[in-house]
Structure 1
């Protein structure tokens, strides 16, 4: 690895720098491709790439024991594909998408024998036939990677993908608190822009209701907290 290829020693700093550049260009989602392309060239590290499925997803699978036989699943913001691979192993006909072509290519390369259909798509403009089409929708860290003013629209798009009788699972960083009060939006320096309790509640709209909510320490850093929310579309 040459000096030009040396990744930033702090992946969070690198991702925030790329996000700031994209925001300055009025392209709030463009930094995902920049980050994954740089990672593919050895110039960056994807800070949320865990090398395996998210621990809170794995725990949910072990507790809920979902059966995917004859059902369809969608993974939002597929990244390197670890979460999608776990979902597919449950028997779901699984689609996973990312706005970054480099991320989709990397996921396909990482899982050459995959059963997942990895596709490039934009959460803000998904294929029309995806609307209300999936028995399980898994959203991990995508909404929180968007600036706060875009999160409500992203939340609506995620919810719209769940079919009647289907499940939505959301895992996200929880907004920090000071003396039991969530810090204000203008204080948060993202990415990520962790979700407030109100932002979690916003996934429950219309005939989608929250049926289980956990807030627990992050598996990787006990000082940070994560939401895991499960919703059902009636």
Structure 2
């Protein structure tokens, strides 16, 4: 289930805030060593092959993945964000589009990063996104996502600075990913910093490998 009106609202909100948002997040990862460590672990452990930064915004994490040695492409729902990303990182590839309908063949990617890009999706509409991540990943490919954690409470809406968003219990998101065919590899919960309101959750998952073909035994 997807909601085109919700996608249009989110895209328009980020288009309107694109320049201010890019200025706000430009140097953020340098101040967050634990977050950087999760991205570095993903870059080091995902199989060889291309990776996608989904909901890439102005492209700073796509560039970080490149700096960590990965062949990275950024995708974002907001055309204004894609324009900023292309201007800031002319050597990288960026495409406008939704995470639930990627213009990629099945099994194309070695890894997917969704860094705070699932937070605007209502609970009922989230499963198809995990199904799409599963579709575009090769067997054994990895999925890393970051989100605002609800500290044990149910899914909770909050007033994000761009457009309404949701906090999730980490076990709930892990269960959704597992139902779509992913195996949990690692998780991190981080307490909020001085300028942050909420605890942060991070999950590193792996697509289940395809079942091995076995040759039936020859009857005696």
1:137 correspondence with 2:115: no
Q: CA deviation at 1:69?
A: 9.2
How many residues get paired? 198
SS of aligned partner of 1:230: strand
Match of 2:61 among 44, 60, 83: 83
The runs of 5 or more residues in structure 1 that have no matched partner are 1-22
RMSD value, Cα: 2.8
Verify the 8 A CA contact 1:67 1:91 in the aligned structure 2. Answer: no
Conserved in 2, the CA contact under 8 Å of 1:53 and 1:82? no
User: Which residues of 2 match residues 95-106 of structure 1 at below 5 A?
Assistant: 95-106=73-84
Per-residue CA distance 1:101-140 (angstroms, 9 max, x = gap): 111001111223x3x21001122221141x3211121011
Rounded to whole Å, the distance in 1 between the matches of 2:47 and 2:130 is 27
Q: In the TM superposition, what whole-angstrom CA distance separates every residue of 1:128-165 from its partner, at most 9, and x where no partner exists?
A: 41x32111210111111112221222232233332112
The equivalent residue for 2:192 is 218
Counterpart residue number, 2:206: 232
Following superposition, the deviation at residue 33 of structure 1 comes to 2.9
More displaced stretch, 82-91 vs 205-214: 205-214
The alpha carbon displacement at 1:92 in A equals 1.8
Tell me whether 1:202 sits opposite 2:176 in the alignment. yes
Query: By how many angstroms is 1:199 displaced?
Result: 2.1
C-alpha contact 1:75 1:137 (8 A) present in aligned 2: yes
CA distance in 2 between counterparts of 1:211 and 1:68 reads: 11
Question: Which consecutive unaligned segments of at least 5 residues does structure 2 have?
Answer: 210-220
Q: SS in structure 2 opposite 1:175?
A: coil
TM-score normalised by L of structure 1: 0.72
Query: How big is the shift at 1:221?
Result: 4.3
* TM-score between both structures, scaled by the size of structure 2: 0.77
Match of 2:15 in 1: 37
Secondary structure of the 2:177 match is: coil
**Shift in Å at residue 48 of structure 1?**
9.6
* Deviations 1:1-51, CA, capped at 9 Å, x for gaps: xxxxxxxxxxxxxxxxxxxxxx9xx610113332333235x6xx3399511
Q: Distance in 2 between matches of 1:65 and 1:136?
A: 8
CA gap of 1:32–1:106, structure 2 versus 1, over 3 A, is farther
Higher RCO structure, 1 or 2 (CA under 8 Å, sep 6+): 2
Contact conserved, 2:127 with 2:180, CA < 8 A, in 1?
A: no
Instruction: Find the aligned partners of 2:15 and 2:35 in 1 and give their Cα distance.
Output: 26
Q: Which residue pairs with 1:11 in the alignment? A: none
